[in-house]
Structure 1
Amino acid sequence: MVTTAADLGVLMAAIASPADPDGALRTDLLAALVEDYVRRGVEGIYCCGSSGEGLLLTDDERTQVVETAVEAAADRIPVVAHVGALSTRDAISLAQRAERAGASALSMIPPIYYSYGAHAVVDHYRAVLDAVDLPLIVYNIPQFTGTEFTLESAGALLGDPRVIGLKQTAHNMYALERMKDAFPDKAYINGFDEVFVPALAAGARGTIGTTVGLQIELFLQARRLLEQGDLPGAQRVQSRINRVISELVAVDVFPAAKYLSGRSAGGAGSLGDCRRPFRPLSPADRARLDALGEELDGFLAEV
C-alpha cells in the first residue's frame, strides 16, 4: 500500500533506541515500547531521528531499529525511518535497507558539516528518492544542520510528488504557513512538541515528537479540544505538555526523555543511557525525573 500525506498527518512518537548497560541495542525493549505506544493511542513511529540517536548508531543498528519497529507495529500504524547521513551513498544504502525492512516512508535531514549549496542539497534528496520507491518527508531542523527549509529553499523538493511532507522542527510558523499555502497537498508535520498547538493553527496536520510517546494522552486531548474550537482549553493542555518539556530540557532533553520513556514503557524498564558524547544521567537527574514522572502521571490521570 502506498503511503500518502494523509497517512502521516498524525501523532507520531520519535522513539528512543533502547540499549543495555554496555550500549548494545535492545530490540526486545524497542518492541515492547512500540506495543505500549500503540495501546495508548500513538498513531505512528519515527525511527532513528534525534530522539533515537540515529547518527550515533551504526548502519546495521539503524536497520535493526527499523526492522523491529515495523514488525512490532504489525501494519497497525505507519513506521517512518530517518535515513539522514553524511554522504549521499550512505543515505541511499540506509534508505534501501529501510525499504526492504517494510518502512512506510523515509525522512531525511539535509547533508551536514560541509557548507553545501542549495542545488547540492536538492540533488542529495533526489538521488535518494531515485534509489527507492518510498515517499519521503523532508526533515527541517536548522539548529542542528545549518540548513533551513523555507518556501524558497524547499520549493523544488515540495514540488516533487515523491516528497509527501515536511517535518518542521523549527519555530518559524510563518515559513510553515507559506509552504502550506503554496503546496497544500503535502503533510506539514510539527517537530517541536512545545509549539504543537500553534503549529496546528499554522497548518500542521500532525506532529513527530520526542515527548509524544510520554504524554500521548495530552497530545490527543489538545488536538481534540482545538478541533472542537476550544482554543483556551487546548492552550491549557499545551501548558502541561510544556511543563514536562521544560523539566526534560533542564536535565538534558534526549537522555532525560529516554529515561522517562523507560519508566512508562508498559513495564519494559530502563532503556539505557544515550551514547557518548551524551553524558550519563546522575542520581540527582534520575530523582528529578522520577518526580517529574509522578507529576506527569497526575496529568494523564485527569485526561
Structure 2
Amino acid sequence: MVTTAADIGVLMAAVATPYDADGEVDMGLLTALVDDYAKRGVEGIYCCGSSGEGLLLSPDERTAVVETVVAASEGRLPVVAHVGALSTREAIALAQRAEQAGASALSMIPPIYYSFDAETIVAHYRAVLDAVDLPLIVYNIPQFTGTEFDVVTAGALLDDPRVIGIKQTAHNMYALERMKAAYPDKAYINGFDEVYVPAVAAGARGTIGTTVGLQIELFRAARSLLDAGDLPAAQRVQRRINHVISELVAVDVFPAAKYLSGRSAGGAGVLGDCRMPFRPLTADDRIRLDRLAETLDGYLAEL
C-alpha cells in the first residue's frame, strides 16, 4: 500500500494499452507486458495515462486495464492509475473503481478544454480525494492541458497530505526545484524521459515514462552512475536514452513506443496501433523502428 512519497517506485513504466485485431483491449497481452516489466526491473506501473491512451478508452476499459495491471503485478509493483477526466463526476467514478481494483495510488491531470481558475481546479482535485482513501500524484503536463503547476499554483494541493507528489511532465527544472525546496517531503517524479538525469539533479525522485519499459536497463544504469557520483558517465547513458527517444519522436512518439513495447509481450507491433485519431504506422515507420530496436539491443548488450 502506498501511503507516503517514499513508497512510490523510482523507475516506473507508463504502460501502453494493447489491442487485439478487432481494436479491443487485449488483457492477455497487457498481463504479459506487465510481467516482463516486473522481471526486468521496472519498479512500478502507471496505467491509463498518455502512453496508455487513457482519454481514448471508455470508463469500463480504463477500469479493466487497472484491474488487469494490478492482477498481473501480483504485489510485485505499485500500480498508479490515472483517473483524469473532463468532468469531476467521471474522475470520481474512475477513482473509486481504481481503488476497488486495488490500485496503489491515483494520478490525475487537471480538467481540460474549459478554462478554469486555480480555485476551481483545486476544488476538482479535492472532490476526487474526498471520494476515496488513496493518495494522489498530480499530473503536471501543461503542453496537453493548458494548466501548469508550480510552487504557487500547486501550493494548495501540496499542502494536502493526501497529495504525495507531482508527475512533472514538463521541461521546467526551475519549477521542479522550487517545489522541492518548498515541499521537500513530496515525491517529484520526472515525466519526460529525455531529461531524467537533469530532473534528478533538480530534485526528482525518479521517473514515470513512455520509454522506461523499453529501456529500463539504461535508466537503471544512469541511476547507478548518479548514485556513484559519476555525472559524465550518467550523461553518456542519457544521450543513448535520448537517441532512442529522438527516433521515436521522429515517427510519432506514442505509436512508435507502443510498437517497440510489443517486444516485451511477444514481438514488435504485437500491441497494435494506437486508436484514431492517431494515424497507423506505415511500412516505412516499422522499418525505421526495427532498425532502432537493433540499436537499442546494442546499447543493452554493452551494459
**Normalising by structure 2, what TM-score?**
0.98
1:48 counterpart letter in structure 2: C
Q: Does 1:188 align with 2:188?
A: yes
Query: Aligned equivalents of 2:21 and 2:59: distance in 1?
Result: 20
Q: Does 1:287 align with 2:295?
A: no
Query: Aligned equivalents of 1:282 and 1:195: distance in 2?
Result: 29
Deviation at 1:267, TM superposition (A): 5.2
Change (3 A) 1:104 1:29: same
Deviation at 1:2, TM superposition (A): 4.3
Q: Does 1:26 align with 2:29?
A: no
Deviation at 1:266, TM superposition (A): 5.4
Deviation at 1:263, TM superposition (A): 2.1
- Provide the identity percentage: 80
Query: Aligned equivalents of 1:138 and 1:126: distance in 2?
Result: 11
2:209 counterpart letter in structure 1: G
* 1:140-170 deviation line (CA, Å, top 9, x unaligned): 0000000000000000000000000100000
Deviation at 1:4, TM superposition (A): 1.9
Query: Aligned equivalents of 1:226 and 1:87: distance in 2?
Result: 41
Q: Does 1:103 align with 2:107?
A: no
The aligned counterpart of 1:41 is: 41
Unaligned runs of 5+ in 1: none
CA contact (8 A) 1:259 1:271 kept: yes
Change (3 A) 1:80 1:68: same
Superposition pairs for residues 136-175 of structure 1, below 5 Å? 136-175=136-175
Deviation at 1:21, TM superposition (A): 2.2
Query: Aligned equivalents of 1:55 and 1:2: distance in 2?
Result: 25
The aligned counterpart of 2:206 is: 206
Higher mean displacement: 51-60 or 263-272 = 263-272
Task: Tell me the secondary structure at the aligned position of residue 152 of structure 1.
Answer: coil
The aligned counterpart of 2:300 is: 300
The aligned counterpart of 2:256 is: 256
Query: Aligned equivalents of 2:134 and 2:215: distance in 1?
Result: 29
Query: Aligned equivalents of 2:28 and 2:168: distance in 1?
Result: 31
CA contact (8 A) 1:36 1:266 kept: no
1:160 counterpart letter in structure 2: D
CA contact (8 A) 2:260 2:268 kept: no
Query: Aligned equivalents of 2:280 and 2:224: distance in 1?
Result: 37
**Normalising by structure 1, what TM-score?**
0.98
Q: Does 1:128 align with 2:128?
A: yes
* 1:267-299 deviation line (CA, Å, top 9, x unaligned): 596000100000000000000000000110110
Change (3 A) 1:285 1:210: same
CA contact (8 A) 2:2 2:8 kept: no
Query: Aligned equivalents of 1:28 and 1:206: distance in 2?
Result: 29
Query: Aligned equivalents of 1:38 and 1:266: distance in 2?
Result: 16
Query: Aligned equivalents of 2:201 and 2:269: distance in 1?
Result: 36
Q: CA RMSD in A?
A: 1.0
CA contact (8 A) 1:141 1:168 kept: yes
The aligned counterpart of 1:233 is: 233
Deviation at 1:7, TM superposition (A): 1.6
Unaligned runs of 5+ in 2: none
Q: How many residues align?
A: 303
* 1:104-124 deviation line (CA, Å, top 9, x unaligned): 000000000000000000000
Query: Aligned equivalents of 2:180 and 2:220: distance in 1?
Result: 23
Q: Does 1:271 align with 2:271?
A: yes
Query: Aligned equivalents of 1:23 and 1:265: distance in 2?
Result: 17
Query: Aligned equivalents of 2:202 and 2:269: distance in 1?
Result: 37
2:179 counterpart letter in structure 1: M
Change (3 A) 1:2 1:39: closer
